[in-house]
Amino acid sequence: MIYKSIVHIAFLGPKGSYSHIAAMQYASNRHFNQVIEHSCRRFDDIFNLVECDHAEYGVVPIENSNSGLIDEVGDLLLNTRLLLVDEITIPIKHCILVNNHTDINQIQIIYSHPQPVQQCSEFLKHFSAWKIVFCESSAVAMETVSKLNQSNLGALGNKQGGQFYGLHSLLTYNLSNSHKNTTRFIVLKNTNIAVFNHSIATKTIFIISIKGQSEKLCEILKVLQFYNTKITYLRPRLLSYERPRNIIIIELMAHINNVYIQHILIELQKIAYSLKILGCYQVTPLTDVIFHYNRKLL
Ligand SMILES: O=C(O)C(=O)C[C@]1(C(=O)O)C=C[C@@H](O)C=C1
């Protein structure tokens, strides 16, 4: 446990975004007494704030159970010197947020971040006449609908967040394509939080960049298979088609000082164009996110 009186946390805002929920949940898990919220409009602003020490922690989404890697965050990780010190997974429950008496049939325009649109694509097929306007976050979407205060507008967001903007929620069952929709957020920091006890569940995450495509990827997989380490995440992303270059984020369930991990890193360094350790941290069990969040709102 970490006890610190005032902690600055940056996240994709404004208030009521899923990132805000995750950031507040992290603060609650860590028993921070007082949190100064730095609500950012873009992911790179979050990275910059933490890099410049204006915020101690940055909370960003890395992966959604439906739509996969958040590409922009993956790309930012390649170039940052920040470290991953923790992660938090929260349930994502999208609904439609509207002004006062708006009925679902009155809606003509939906404001949303691109991620919820992707995650609710099956549901949205039933309302193909809706015009979709993309926003920087689900909270910006809700804020916009609230400010415009028209009965033909709706936002894709979450019920709790909608309360910040005085919106009503329609269709509060899960609108996502799959029954269980969760997003994993990572916590970024300038310095590492040391994990001394190797027996507890610990992850090591690194990012590799490779030139060329399939052969290098196969070589990497062979190394991982040889050392038989538990892979909890592996995701390649093609950065450029012209001169093929891939980044691969790999997450292994072991401490960085584990002898096998050390061998793997040495082997992979020979194959990769670049290899960067993103972090090594203890995995905390899932907690009841919405409970803490509601308590803060009421
Ligand atoms: O729009 C928000 O509320 C965010 O916090 C961003 C974001 C994302 O980029 O994935 C976070 C979690 C959900 O998957 C949807 C959107």
The ipTM (two decimal places) reads 0.97
> Among 43-52, 130-139, 166-175, which is the least confidently predicted range?
166-175
- The three-class DSSP label of residue 85 is strand
User: Is there a single domain that holds both residue 104 and residue 122?
Assistant: yes
- More reliable by pLDDT, 245 or 218: 218
Test site for ligand 1: of 137, 176, 178, 185, most ligand atoms within 8 A of the Cβ? 137
| Same domain flag for 81 and 157 | no
Instruction: Please work out whether the CB of residue 15 comes within 6 Å of at least one atom of ligand 1.
Output: no
The total number of residues written for the chain in this structure: 298
Integer Cα distance of 156 and 120 in angstroms = 9
CATH of the domain at 41: 3.40.190.10
102 & 65 share domain: no
Strand, coil or helix: 53: coil
Query: Are 106 and 77 part of one and the same domain?
Result: no
Residue 202 near ligand 1, beta carbon < 6 Å: no
Whose CA is closest to atom 3 on ligand 1? 17
CA separation for the pair 251, 125 (Å, rounded): 35
Phi and psi for 255 in degrees, rounded to 5?
-75, 145
Distance CA 94, CA 97 (A): 9
Q: Are 248 and 236 in contact (CB under 8 A)?
A: yes
Judge if 185 and 80 occupy the same domain.
Answer: yes
Identify the band that residue 289 occupies on the pLDDT scale cut at 50, 70 and 90.
Answer: very low
Q: What is the pLDDT, as a whole number, of residue 237?
A: 87
pLDDT of 81-98, one tens digit each? Answer: 999 999 999 999 999 999
Burial state string for 197-208 with b = 16 or more CB within 10 A and e = fewer than 16: eeeeebbbbbbb
Say whether both 84 and 12 belong to one domain. yes
> Can you count the helices (H) and strands (E) in the chain?
10, 15
DSSP, collapsed to helix, strand or coil, labels residue 45 as helix
12: domain range?
Answer: 6-91+181-194+284-297
